[in-house]
Amino acid sequence: MKMKELLLFLSCVLCVNADALHSDITIAGCSDSDGEKMYGLDGEEKWYADFNKHTGVDAPPDFIGSFNYQEGAYEQAVSELQLCQQNLKTVRVGMKDFPAKHIVPSAVMIYTRDEVEFGEKNTLICHVTGFYPAPVNVSWTKNGQKVTEGSSINIPYPNKDGTFKQTSRLDFTPQLGDIYRCAVEHLALTQPLTKIYEVDSSAHSDPGVGPSVFCGVGLTLGLVGVAVGTFFLIKGNECS
Ligand SMILES: *[C@@H]1O[C@H](CO)[C@@H](O)[C@H](O)[C@H]1NC(C)=O
């Protein structure tokens, strides 16, 4: 039971080219109830198997276009998952339910995708990283009420140190005074880690012309100072 959520048999192929311009990754893993198969590039998903919706998902945004994974990629992921879960059972017996490594998330960050303008659609992002095993659950509340509509979470992405990161998103429209909270559940946590985002009046504070006026005045005064200084320097030299 305590191994239930454990993502095991992580066969993780990481190829970094010589000058490390790009890093390509394939990850396959499973627990008793869950699994993952994903191809990624430079920290972004390219393709993953959605085992709940029984299909492969092309993850990149539309403007990049599809990576055109070959026919049968999803079916292959399913058979790999079955094999993984089979191996998990065998290993568990063989190793007498070896102790699980649990690492709590090292950081939870909450921020908005776009600069906040009251009444303009935006997306709240709750980024969780540094945990093991995958996955985390992320839930959202608005002013203390649970919200599920407009929220989504991506699949776990491996960090270089073997821990995972995951990002949950919530579509929202900023209104002054609204308080949002993302709560992160993980196997290694006794209670959820939470982060709060408050829509306050600083949200749309337009820097306006203030800074440029101050900068202009300061620069002018500085130049005048240099000119006056030079003038007196020359005058001084003439006198002596
Ligand atoms: C995440 O939520 C599911 C469904 O509510 C639950 O079964 C699972 O134990 C949760 N996982 C964690 C890590 O809290």
The pLDDT assigned to 51 comes to 94
Q: Is 133 in the pocket of ligand 1 (CB under 6 A)?
A: no
Respond yes or no on whether the N-terminal peptide bond of residue 133 is cis (omega within 30° of 0): yes
Q: Is 32 in the pocket of ligand 1 (CB under 6 A)?
A: no
CB 146 within 8 A of CB 180: no
Q: Please classify residue 208 by burial: count the beta carbons closer than 10 Å to its beta carbon, then call 0-12 exposed, 13-18 middle and 19+ buried.
A: exposed
Rounded average pLDDT over 59-77: 77
* Distance in Å, CA 137 to ligand 1 centroid: 6
Q: Is 184 in the pocket of ligand 1 (CB under 6 A)?
A: no
* Distance in Å, CA 233 to ligand 1 centroid: 77
Phi, psi of 12 (to 5 degrees): -125, 110
Boundaries of CATH 2.60.40.10 in the chain? 107-203
pLDDT at 3 over 70: no
* Distance in Å, CA 200 to ligand 1 centroid: 32
Phi, psi of 70 (to 5 degrees): -65, 155
Q: Which CATH class is domain 107-203?
A: mainly beta
CB atoms within 10 A of CB 59: 19
The residue with greater pLDDT, 19 or 200, is 200
pLDDT at 79 over 60: yes
pLDDT at 52 over 80: yes
For the chain, give the longest Cα–Cα distance: 99
Could you tell me the end-to-end alpha-carbon distance of the chain, in angstroms, rounded to an integer?
Answer: 95
The pLDDT assigned to 207 comes to 55
Q: How many residues does the chain have?
A: 240
Query: pTM (2 decimals)?
Result: 0.72
To 10 degrees, the CA torsion angle through 50, 55, 56, 62?
A: -100
Rounded average pLDDT over 179-200: 96
Q: Is 171 in the pocket of ligand 1 (CB under 6 A)?
A: no
CATH 3.30.70.1400 fits 7-95, yes or no: no
* Distance in Å, CA 102 to ligand 1 centroid: 15
Nearest to 184 by CA among 76, 107, 79: 107
Boundaries of CATH 3.10.320.10 in the chain? 7-95
